[in-house]
Chains A and B, each alone.
Chain A
């Protein structure tokens, strides 16, 4: 089901996220890949699950195949597609293929630079940028390819995009967001935000675009992770008080603490947004508890 259907019914949309495994699927069917295990844990608590595309430029199993795998297990995937590794021919072909496999939602992104990943000498493609990618996907929806050739069948997918409220200067990030809206983006997910003021400032300026926005949250698992993200993950800032708070409990109690911290934060800011996108990074099992603390009941579409 397209996420836009949920947004149109004013449902607060909850999504999770999994990263495909580093490796191929085993021919031994009894070996369930980690990303499927995580998605199964999320299944009853979210509307859909993002499937990352060689996230952080680390080479992995393909996001399209993993998305199809989730779909076949009754989990609604949001197929992530980046510009980093494909030219415009491959991007269009992959969108046609993804739709043909039954995928209804796509998140269209620039993609992290190759320098952040594990194949630093690869050729970065970036034939299109994310605005051009969204505009091209819109044409596929309308039944045409990028150069105007008529398609036998177009795609009918909800087109998602991202915005980073942490970006300075924010005005520049919002100029880009407006271009994404004009290009045809139907919903937005934000980069991870840990600061109510940062989110509020962005939402106040972005609300005029009249597109549903999901708050992005990355589950903070340890103080080390907070420091690591501040140093190494582009576009995310974890405030020191969050790092201190997760560090204030023993390792054994951190899952509980993380669920409480994330949940309470979401509860506080959820009135600003139309949904939440939870990136549990392996702690999918605490998502139900996060939602409890956040006082969010996941409503299915009518």
Chain B
């Protein structure tokens, strides 16, 4: 999931020009889980803007629950058909979702003016209703087979691939005494799994070309093509 937090209301208000008519859009998946752009927050945002004298022409959170705003076909149908009248009046769209969702609204409205209502902070695991934690940095080159499933690109502050630096104390990272050392976590997990020898494998420098932006993926039922400046990589999911 993409974790998001709402921008301060003063910042959001500063985006909107006097007289600008705004339509507010939320997301029924990740932003809903983050309480940054679900149904409640989107309705409240419309009310908060109105209280500040902003002309809100409508709001919606494309459903059903669990539906991502970044699914373009659904968002396009909701905005262009279900809310056709309100959307046609709007000068701009305030999007309470991640950056992908903001772009989806640009596509769904054929290029309307959008305002981000959130900061997109990371991709994470929904550990509980109240907690989202980051375990993957989306680097495009997964080495967690060798680290017990724990990603050093994410859990190590220096993104070291071949073991810890010398800075940890009492099991904690040198950048923050509250934060466990990612490599000690990896070591303890591999030890527990009886696979400590995996740490001895040399890990080559990352191919950062796979981490270039923007990247794209073309998919079909049988194969997928990942495009980055490292080139086009096509993989099959068949024998």
Chain A positions within 8 Å of B, measured between CB atoms, are 83-84, 88, 110-113, 115-116, 124, 126-132, 135-136, 146, 162-164, 166-169, 171-173, 175-176, 178-179, 182-183, 191, 234-235, 237
Name the residue among A116, A182, A234 with the largest chain B CB count within 10 angstroms: A234
Q: Please, could you name 30 A-B residue pairs with CB atoms under 8 Å apart, sorted by A?
A: A110-B165, A110-B166, A112-B167, A112-B174, A113-B158, A115-B157, A115-B175, A116-B174, A126-B158, A127-B206, A127-B208, A129-B158, A129-B163, A131-B202, A135-B202, A167-B164, A167-B166, A168-B168, A168-B171, A169-B187, A171-B187, A172-B184, A173-B163, A175-B163, A175-B187, A176-B162, A179-B163, A191-B166, A234-B166, A235-B167
- Chain B interface helix/strand/loop/mixed: loop
For residue B183, CB closer than 8 A to chain A, the reply is yes
Taking a contact as CB atoms closer than 8 A, the residue among A113, A124, A128, A135 that contacts B174 in the complex is A113
Q: Beyond the given A163-B166, A234-B168, could you list 17 further A-B residue pairs with CB under 8 A, ordered by the A residue number? A: A83-B158, A88-B205, A115-B176, A116-B174, A127-B208, A129-B159, A129-B163, A130-B160, A132-B204, A146-B205, A168-B171, A173-B163, A175-B187, A176-B163, A179-B202, A182-B202, A234-B166
A-B contact count (CB 8 A): 100
Taking a contact as CB atoms closer than 8 A, the residue among A112, A113, A124, A169 that contacts B184 in the complex is A169
The 4 residue pairs across chains A and B that have the minimum distance between CB atoms: A164-B166, A176-B163, A234-B167, A234-B174
B200 touches A124 (CB 8 A): no
Bound together, the chains give a CA A130 to CA B63 distance in angstroms of 49
Bound together, the chains give a CA A295 to CA B106 distance in angstroms of 75
Bound together, the chains give a CA A183 to CA B164 distance in angstroms of 16
Residues of B within 8 A of A164 (CB): 166
Chain B: how many interface residues by the 8 Å CB criterion? 30
For residue B169, CB closer than 8 A to chain A, the reply is yes
Bound together, the chains give a CA A253 to CA B38 distance in angstroms of 67
Taking a contact as CB atoms closer than 8 A, the residue among B158, B169, B208 that contacts A110 in the complex is B158
A235 touches B169 (CB 8 A): yes
Residues of B within 8 A of A88 (CB): 205
Taking a contact as CB atoms closer than 8 A, the residue among A124, A126, A163, A234 that contacts B169 in the complex is A234
Bound together, the chains give a CA A191 to CA B170 distance in angstroms of 16
Bound together, the chains give a CA A191 to CA B165 distance in angstroms of 11
Name the residue among A129, A135, A146 with the largest chain B CB count within 10 angstroms: A129
Taking a contact as CB atoms closer than 8 A, the residue among B167, B183, B204, B208 that contacts A172 in the complex is B183
Residues of B within 8 A of A172 (CB): 163-164, 183-184, 187, 199
Known: A112-B174, A113-B174, A113-B175. A130 touches B204 (CB 8 A): no
Bound together, the chains give a CA A164 to CA B183 distance in angstroms of 15
Bound together, the chains give a CA A196 to CA B136 distance in angstroms of 41
For residue B151, CB closer than 8 A to chain A, the reply is no
